[in-house]
Amino acid sequence: MKEAAVTVAGIQMEPVFGETEKNVARTIALMEEAASKGAELVVLPELCNTGYVFQSRKEARDLAEEIPAGPTTSAWIGAAKRLNLHVVAGITEKDGVKLYNSAVVIGPDGLIGRYRKVHLWGDEALYFTPGDLGFPVYDTPLGRIGCHICYDCWFPESFRLAALQGAEIMCVPTNWVPIPGQDPNREAMANIIVMGAAHSNSLFVVAADRVGTERGQPFIGQSLIVAQTGWPVAGPASADKEEILIAEINLADARRKRNWNDFNQVLRDRRRDVYDEMLGSAHLPGWH
């Protein structure tokens, strides 16, 4: 018997810029399909309700919504309740005068929390405020869920701080773009990075990417679900097609199988006499 068996889904899709209503309807249709295949936790791409390539702050503001009052979060909350799902999805968030590249964490009973992207990529810095919530980890009936968004994964501290708070699975809405120097005969660098982070922190990772080209910007797909060992259990998906990845995982393995041998356990072996226990993050609201 698996102590903490969970069926997870990574949804790879192609939002259409600015067509929020259609995009949200598409996300819900894909959530329904994933639920019909047994999914209990579904992860959707970054900014999947609006699209990604903004051309002005006004454009971003016009498409942004409040959480949870906005129509996108409301629609996802309704779908999660109807389908008995947990959902992590990327959304363009408005909070007063500030805009954030955010993700909502939703369960069958409503909004659980939100994550705001800490490390902004490229032109995102022209429109969004860097995340101010740290790296919150949420207790859910399925397990302890943390979030990153895309470029956050390039910072080892991001995964480590979530792991130190007891995260068992990291949900990553993402919009991966081509990386200079990528070997076309190798897996995407983004895949390697999340695989390494899963391995070095004993965490499961569900990374849901988008596909297509938006305003001249191509996206690379290749979503995947990674076990705490660092090896994929579903995917990588294709580079150019909408797909749903499904895997049954046992979140207890993130804790039970953290010991690599009689001597070594990656979180226990940290040299806290050499570097700070919390990597200087104690002041952040996301630290517990």
pLDDT in tens, 214-249: 999 999 999 999 999 999 999 999 999 999 999 999
Q: Is residue 274 part of a domain?
A: no
Q: Is residue 276 part of a domain?
A: no
Q: Which domain holds residue 88?
A: 5-256
What is the pTM for the complete model shown? Answer: 0.92
> Where do we find the tokens 């705001």?
116
Half-sphere exposure for 104 (CA within 13 Å, toward CB)? 27
* Domain CATH number, residue 189: 3.60.110.10
Q: Which residues, including other chains, have CB under 8 Å from residue 87's CB and lie 6 or more apart?
A: 31, 41, 42, 43, 44, 76, 79, 80, 104, 105, 106, 107
Q: Is residue 286 part of a domain?
A: no
pLDDT band for position 89 (cuts 50, 70, 90) = very high
DSSP state of 186: S
Is the Cα torsion angle 208, 212, 214, 215 positive or negative in sign?
A: positive
DSSP state of 152: G
For residue range 113-159, list pLDDT tens digits in order: 999 999 999 999 999 999 999 999 999 999 999 999 999 999 999 99
The separation between CA 91 and the C-alpha centre of its own chain, rounded to angstroms, equals 11
Quote the pLDDT of residue 283. Answer: 52
Q: Are 211 and 13 in contact (CB under 8 A)?
A: yes
DSSP for 167-184 reads --EEEEE------TT--T
For residue range 256-284, list pLDDT tens digits in order: 777 778 778 777 777 777 777 665 555 55
Q: Which residues, including other chains, have CB under 8 Å from residue 56's CB and lie 6 or more apart?
A: none
Q: Is residue 283 part of a domain?
A: no
Q: How many domains does the chain have?
A: 1
pLDDT, average across residues 26-47? 98
Of residues 146, 121, 129, 135, the one with CA closest to residue 52: 121
Query: From CA 192, how far away is CA 3, in angstroms rounded?
Result: 28
Q: Is residue 14 part of a domain?
A: yes
pLDDT, average across residues 171-178? 98
Q: Name the token pair of 44.
A: 């959707």
Q: Is residue 26 part of a domain?
A: yes
Q: Is residue 147 part of a domain?
A: yes
Quote the pLDDT of residue 1. Answer: 54
pLDDT band for position 2 (cuts 50, 70, 90) = confident
Q: Which residues are tagged catalytic? A: 46, 117, 150
Q: Is residue 265 part of a domain?
A: no
